[in-house]
Chains A and B, each alone.
Chain A
């Protein structure tokens, strides 16, 4: 295991793993306080300067191994962290189905309320076009919100960026298999909403549904790292 030489390097490593900044600062602060106690102990034994530092570092143990143990123990402390495969590979799918169902339910109820669906629909042709755009926007919104929420969960369950990436890539693959079409009513036909999966490749694939989770992950990664680094700087300044 690569040796970490200082608590500052340990902080960078934990932040790099995607652990929440608040926890990282707290863990590093306690280790620094412990190191200071060990230095004091060394000075009481007659050691000075570099010798006292070496004594403290040896007693504190391998910080690389400690970083790994900190991540693992915090993961073990919550259900999502104990079952990352199930959480980040499987759960986004039922979340998507439930999200779609809720959107369809709300759309159906609102349509009933304002008499959109009956034979004498209150909607004009332009309204139908707007509605189709809104449905598509909700659909893309689900493809953005669900992986983003699981990325957030990966961070807060101490699973880190790796599982956030896994969930985003899987959701992007899911986007290549899933189809939604909303056909506005014609002269004789009714409005139809088609939702489902297909293994047919080619023209039906919507590149947006495949790309949005990946773009979401990139955004999450950049924003999360920046927020973490800012918080570490602020807490460091406050300390």
Chain B
């Protein structure tokens, strides 16, 4: 049976965060800036919103955190775990299917 994902749109922030943390470890502010830069500021949100998501991912063992002092400032760095990377693969696959479906419906004009 084909699996459906009604919560998919809710999973977009999860996809973005895991995508960035799979490449390199980052702290909250850095992560928000990376999302804004790499989406040409098309995605804007209250920057504090990143922390509930990061803490939820950490509770689900998809990311891990560590404290580190850099240039006199203490920061919490996050990175994706193997479980997080596996989840990223799933989410990426689902995202590709959604994009492909929407593009078909729109007649390919947004491809």
Which residues of A does B touch, CB under 8 Å? Answer: 23, 26-27, 30-31, 33-34, 36-38, 59-63, 65-66, 69-70, 72-74, 76-78
B96 at the interface (CB under 8 A from A): no
Q: Which of B17-25, B51-59, B80-88, B101-109 contacts A (4 or more CB under 8 A)?
A: B51-59
Q: B49, B51, B56, B74: which contacts A77 (Cβ < 8 A)?
A: B56
B21 CB → nearest A CB, Å:
15
Cα distance, A37 to B53, chains bound together (Å): 19
Give the dominant DSSP class at B's interface.
Answer: helix
Contact present for A69 and B52 (CB under 8 Å): yes
B27-64 toward A: CB 8 Å interface, digit per residue (1/0)?
Answer: 11100100000000000011111011101100110000
Interface flag for B73 (CB, 8 Å) = yes
Select B52's contact among A33, A37, A66, beta carbons within 8 Å: A66
Q: How far is the CA of A60 from the CA of B60 in the complex (A)?
A: 25
Instruction: Report the separation of the CA atoms of residues A200 and B32 in the bound assembly, to the nearest whole angstrom.
Output: 62
Report which B residues bind A (CB closer than 8 A): 27-29, 32, 45-49, 51-53, 55-56, 59-60, 73-76
Q: With A and B bound together, what is the CA distance between A1 and B40 in angstroms?
A: 31
**Could you pull out 14 A-B pairs where Cβ atoms are within 8 angstroms?**
A23-B55, A26-B76, A27-B51, A27-B55, A33-B27, A33-B29, A33-B73, A34-B32, A34-B51, A61-B48, A62-B46, A73-B52, A73-B53, A74-B59
The answer to whether B51 and A30 touch across the interface, beta carbons within 8 angstroms, is yes
Q: How far is the CB of A153 from chain B (nearest CB, A)?
A: 16
Q: Are B55 and A34 in contact (CB under 8 A)?
A: no
A59 adjacent to B47 (CB under 8 Å): yes
Instruction: With both chains docked as a complex, state the minimum distance between the C-beta of A95 and any C-beta of chain B, in angstroms.
Output: 24
Q: With A74-B59, A77-B59, A77-B60 given, name 8 new contacts (CB 8 A).
A: A27-B51, A27-B55, A33-B28, A59-B47, A66-B46, A70-B55, A73-B56, A78-B59
CA distance A34 to B32 in the complex (A): 10
* Complex Cα spacing A34 to B73, Å: 11
The CA of A63 and the CA of B47, in the complex, are separated in Å by 10
Contacting pair A34 B52 (CB below 8 A): no
Chain B hits for A37, CB < 8 A: 29
| Chain B residues positioned under 8 Å from A61 (CB to CB) | 45-49
B75 touching A33, Cβ below 8 Å: yes
Within the complex, the shortest CB–CB distance from B102 to chain A, in Å, comes to 27
* Cβ–Cβ contact B48 & A63, under 8 A: yes
